[in-house]
Amino acid sequence: MTPTMAPMKAMLTTSCLLLCSCGAEKFNETGSPEAARTGELSVLTYNVHGLPPEITGDDTAGRMEQIAPRLSSWDLIGLQENFDDDNNARLIDGAGHASTLWFDEQLPDRFYGSGLSVLSQLGIIDAQNTHYSACHGYADSSSDCLASKGFQAVRVAVGGASIDLYNTHLEAGGGDEDNAARQTQVEELIASLNGWSAGHAVIFTGDFNLRETDPDDLPLIEQLLGEAQLTRSCAAVTCDEPSHIDKILFRSSESVTLSVLSWSNLAPDFEDNQGVALSDHPPISANFSFATH
């Protein structure tokens, strides 16, 4: 099915959106961002479990305040389950990135927006937000239809070229209807990756709710990787958690070559003073080298 396109409602903490390279200077050794043809990018994906405290059973706002300053070290971040206005502000203000995009557009029959945010130290050239056309469950099957799930696609400037940063949170639940919704969502992702992002290098963060060890999930993972020519960053460096649902995928292009330098589960770095995790998901990080041509 054709993805439902929603108007992009974005919060930008930089004064430049179009043709902006503010933030690429950090890779520059000669004084000009255009000269920064090689460098490194640090990437983080993190489901922050930003649901209301009535659902999480804890101090959601307090957790966001503790998470925010720990996000400042990464160049590109994809957050999931960032649903609340105030908590989004806490995360963005505390992290201090040059550009931020929050996909908070709420569909008419839903209770929340998408819960997706991108934080970038690179200049944003273009962006689009897309709601998925399928979901399953309001009061059962993980209640995915309470949220306006979808994906973000954000084009960022690097080394005189660009990379498309994707961020998503796919359908949860393990029933047949959930599997069917995820199938539709994966097909809509592939359509964008091979349409809007055709010919572009991609870094893809998200809570995919797909495990390689699940026989129902594996065909969808293989379809997404194969048809969109993506590679799991974990697999590229032979990490020790190959079937994690929180993933960072990537592909190179004719103008940008991406290589994975490292992959990390940073759960120990995102705990409170009592050693309690700040989310029900661990933050996953990958470091890339890039070369533009």
DSSP reduced 3-state for 226: helix
Spatial contact of 29 and 61, defined as CB atoms under 8 Å apart: no
If phi over 0 gives left and psi between -120 and 50 gives alpha, with beta otherwise, what is residue 190? Answer: alpha
Complete domains list, the chain, with CATH:
19-292 (3.60.10.10)
pLDDT tens digits for 209-227?
999 999 999 999 999 999 9
| Other Cβ atoms within 10 Å of 32 Cβ, number | 12
pLDDT tens digits for 165-180?
999 999 999 999 999 9
Spatial contact of 26 and 121, defined as CB atoms under 8 Å apart: yes
In this prediction, residue 21 has a pLDDT band, given cuts at 50, 70 and 90, of very low
pLDDT of 11 strictly over 70: no
Spatial contact of 162 and 293, defined as CB atoms under 8 Å apart: no
| pLDDT reported for residue 140 | 82
Query: What DSSP line would sit under 70-108, residue for residue?
Result: GGTT-SEEEEEEE--HHHHHHHHHHH--SEEEEE----T
- The one-letter code for the residue type at 114 is S
Bridge partners, residue 167, by sequence: 152, 205
pLDDT tens digits for 244-254?
999 999 999 99
| pLDDT reported for residue 24 | 32
Q: Give the span between the Cα atoms of 229 and 227, in whole angstroms.
A: 6
Q: What's the distance, CA 109 to chain centroid?
A: 24
Strand bridging mode 38-50 / 284-292: antiparallel
